Chains A and B, each alone.
Chain A
Amino acid sequence: MMHETESQKTALRRYLVGSAPEDERERVEQALLADENLYEELLAIEDELIDQYVWGRLPEPERTSFIQYLSALPDHKERLEFAQALRAHSLGSPTGASVATAASRDTPEEGFGFRVPALLLAAAVLLVMLGGVWSLTTISALRNEVRTNQAELGRSREGQEELQKRLVAESRLSSDPVGRGAPGTGSSLSRSFLLRAGTFRSGGTTKVLQLPQEPALVEIRLDLGVADYESYRAVFHDAQAAELMSVSQLGARVKENEILVVFSVPSERFTAGDYYISLSGVIEGSLSGVIEGSLSGVIEGGELEPVARYDFRISRE
């Protein structure tokens, strides 16, 4: 029985990380639909894999395959963020049994990692005030411990930022249908173009984008002027207004006093000719994500409102 459970768990894990052979995959899928308990087991393993990912303990190629799978699930951002919060909590409570205390609630803006140092500092100050039985060396040691813990917290925050970056990069890698062009996969960014708004807001001009013959990533910067929306959707059209491709959940960014929407596109998607990008702002109906932007361009939501049109012409070198 135990053996059966373990082999079932192994099969579910293989299924989730994409290493199950086709016949096993079909068996798992059929069983998954028929057996509610198995589905709960799968969700439990899913959570464990998310944790392994967040802790950097999921090896390749499982990691890429699992993230590709996870990024397609509607609540992936919330679950990743939750796993990160659990990780941060775990790092901030070395005994593992330590949980929320009144002291921690008093200092919420400092995060989990400051709880223990704050208590240590308070204890040190109290002892000095009561009789000065602690030597300066002891206090110094405590301060060092505080500094160490703060450094640990800093590393934890850096780790989270790094994780966010890795998620974006890996999401791009795993969802790149042409197998090239994503940053970090060997294709370099060869061109960057700034496009200014056309017909919706003001009279525009057609800009010529000269692309290289070889495949490359092209950075497109759309000048917004002002950022009226939390997120944007950009749609590429050809001269006949046919929709070619689109991307959602784009955030406004600022550089050198310009407010822009910035993204990249594989150059090989374009032949020479006229195109335009229609940019819409998304009117958010509700806050759907705990943390915005873990994986880009995956989730759509809210009503769209036209913002601007950017005309351009592609020519080849």
Chain B
Amino acid sequence: MQQPQSQQSLESFHRLLSSPQYETLRGRLIRIFARRGCQFPQDLADETISRVAEKVHEIAATFEGDPARYFYGVARNVYLEYTRRPKTVPLYENRSWTKVADPDRLRNEVASACLERCLDELDGDERRVISEYYQYDKIAKIDHRKKLAESLGLGSNALRIKAYRIRQRLYRCVTSCFKNDDGREK
């Protein structure tokens, strides 16, 4: 039996508002607001999602089509309202002064140790992609990547996405290691 249009629409909205799609929806909205120069894009993204979530049943009853289009419309309204608000003025911390306690050096060391540890968790090909794809100081970056893609049997776009996904995993590993302070020698 075919579902009524409003029921399908409601389910589409619910999918977008539930994990894991919710996280990427929020990330996309944050980027849209950030690119439009908004100071706290995550707040505006949350506002957009809240507005839709609060009226999702009403919206689903009348809206036809891709829910993403509806979110975009609400995001535009949220942005327009943002542009009408009085602007806050950022102040500038003078960092030429010496800090009371400067933990940067220690943090750099922990971050470096975490990176080494996390690189160890990658397999050989993955380490090679990370080591070679992101080298910008080497000559002929494009040629270099082309050769890397060929040697892995991938197209250039597939290599980019592969490099990105490995990098994401590495990034999550380093961040987690750092937060747990695991990079420090025990």
Interface residues of A (CB under 8 A from B): 2, 5, 9, 15-16, 18, 25, 29-30, 32-34, 36, 39-44, 47-48, 51-52, 55, 57, 68-70, 72-74, 78-79, 81-82, 85-86, 88-91, 93, 96-100, 104-105, 108-109, 111-112, 160, 165, 168, 172, 175-178, 182-183, 217, 219, 227, 234, 245-247, 249-255, 259-260, 262-266, 269, 286-287, 290-293, 296-297
Decide yes or no whether B178 CB sits under 8 A from chain A.
yes
- Cross-chain contact B27 with A39 (CB below 8 angstroms): yes
Interface residues of B (CB under 8 A from A): 21, 24-25, 27-35, 37-42, 66, 68-69, 71-72, 75, 87-95, 97-101, 103-104, 107-109, 111-113, 115-117, 119-120, 122, 127-128, 130-132, 134-138, 155, 157, 160-161, 163-164, 167-168, 170-171, 174-175, 178-179, 183, 185
State A100–B183 Cα separation when bound (angstroms). Answer: 13
CB contacts (< 8 Å) of B119 on chain A: these are 89, 99-100
B90 to A: closest C-beta gap in Å: 5
State A43–B160 Cα separation when bound (angstroms). Answer: 11
State A44–B175 Cα separation when bound (angstroms). Answer: 18
Q: A72-B41, A79-B171 are in contact. Are A15 and B35 (CB under 8 A)?
A: yes
CB contacts (< 8 Å) of B21 on chain A: these are 36
- The residue of chain A having its C-beta at the shortest distance from the C-beta of B130 within the complex is A86
CB contacts (< 8 Å) of A255 on chain B: these are 97-98
Contact of A264 among B68, B94, B100, B128 (CB under 8 A): B94
CB contacts (< 8 Å) of A34 on chain B: these are 66, 68-69
CB contacts (< 8 Å) of A227 on chain B: these are 100-101
- Cross-chain contact A109 with B91 (CB below 8 angstroms): no
State A197–B148 Cα separation when bound (angstroms). Answer: 61
CB contacts (< 8 Å) of B71 on chain A: these are 33
CB contacts (< 8 Å) of B42 on chain A: these are 74
- The residue of chain B having its C-beta at the shortest distance from the C-beta of A259 within the complex is B100
- Cross-chain contact B34 with A72 (CB below 8 angstroms): yes
- Cross-chain contact A245 with B91 (CB below 8 angstroms): yes
- Cross-chain contact A251 with B99 (CB below 8 angstroms): yes
Contact of B30 among A74, A85, A96, A260 (CB under 8 A): A74
- Cross-chain contact B89 with A68 (CB below 8 angstroms): no
- Cross-chain contact B116 with A108 (CB below 8 angstroms): yes
State A30–B174 Cα separation when bound (angstroms). Answer: 33
Tell me which of B91, B107, B160, B183 has the highest count of chain A C-beta atoms within 10 A of its own C-beta. Answer: B91
CB contacts (< 8 Å) of B178 on chain A: these are 290
Contact of B93 among A43, A245, A297 (CB under 8 A): A297
> What are 28 A-B pairs at a CB distance below 8 A?
A29-B72, A30-B68, A39-B24, A41-B160, A44-B160, A44-B163, A47-B164, A55-B136, A73-B41, A74-B42, A82-B171, A88-B112, A89-B131, A90-B134, A96-B138, A98-B131, A99-B116, A108-B116, A175-B39, A178-B89, A182-B92, A245-B89, A245-B91, A246-B88, A255-B97, A262-B94, A269-B89, A292-B107
